[in-house]
Amino acid sequence: MELLQRNYFELLGLPAQFEIDLTLLHQHYRTLQSEVHPDRFVTASANERIQSMQVATQANEAYQTLKNTTARARYLLQLNGIETLEESNTAMPGDFLMLQMEWREAIDDANSTKDTSALDRLLVEIRQMAQHLSQGLSMQFAQKSYQDASESVRKLSFIDKISADIHRVIEQLENA
């Protein structure tokens, strides 16, 4: 089982590119999992059982990474020697910083007035921004504009975080 030496795309039988077929990703993942599932190796040697567990674990990591737009883009950048440094490189264009502040204010306002419909509308707006960034990422990867792609990943990462924050506020308001 030398599957552990492969990158996530190779492991799941997909081309190493930003645009992937999510249905095919899921099918390849399910097939691989059925082939390496530890239950199939109950009577195998200890070494084979350990390898099946390692491949199953790597397949799970690969699937979770590749099915998520931001994580897939980040991983592709890493394969091309680019680290996004999201934790330390928080520099963003001024217009995106303003947008972040507007979104945070809108969340605070909706939370204080308990307006979940305003939060739902904000989620729609944020999803549209994420979709726009994803389309840009597709072109950036096609053109090998990795620095631009890195900035887009940092923006998407922020959008992922703020979306999670909005979902948390909605949940809190609905359970109050």
pLDDT beyond 90 at 176: no
Tell me which long-range contacts 78-87 makes (C-beta under 8 A, separation of at least 24): 79/7, 79/16, 80/144, 80/146, 82/146, 82/147, 82/149, 82/150, 84/150, 84/153, 84/154, 84/157, 86/153, 86/154, 86/157
Nearest to 59, CA basis, from 96, 93, 29, 101: 29
Query: Do 106 and 118 touch, CB atoms closer than 8 A?
Result: yes
Class of domain 94-175: mainly alpha
Q: How far apart are CA 19 and CA 16, in angstroms?
A: 9
Q: Provide, for the chain, the percentages of residues in helix, strand and coil under a 3-state DSSP scheme, each rounded to the nearest 5.
A: 75, 0, 25
Domain 2-67 architecture: Orthogonal Bundle (1.10)
The tokens for 54 are 């390692």
Q: Do 2-67 and 94-175 share a fold?
A: no
Q: Where are the domains of the chain?
A: 2-67, 94-175
Q: How far apart are CA 36 and CA 22, in angstroms?
A: 21
As to burial, measured by CB atoms within 10 angstroms (0-12 exposed, 13-18 middle, 19+ buried), residue 112 is: exposed
pLDDT given for residue 91 in this prediction: 73
Of the candidate ranges 30-44, 49-63, 92-106, the one whose mean pLDDT is the lowest: 30-44
Q: pLDDT, tens digit, for every residue of 102-129?
A: 999 999 999 999 999 999 999 999 999 9
Residue 2 banded pLDDT, cuts 50, 70, 90: low
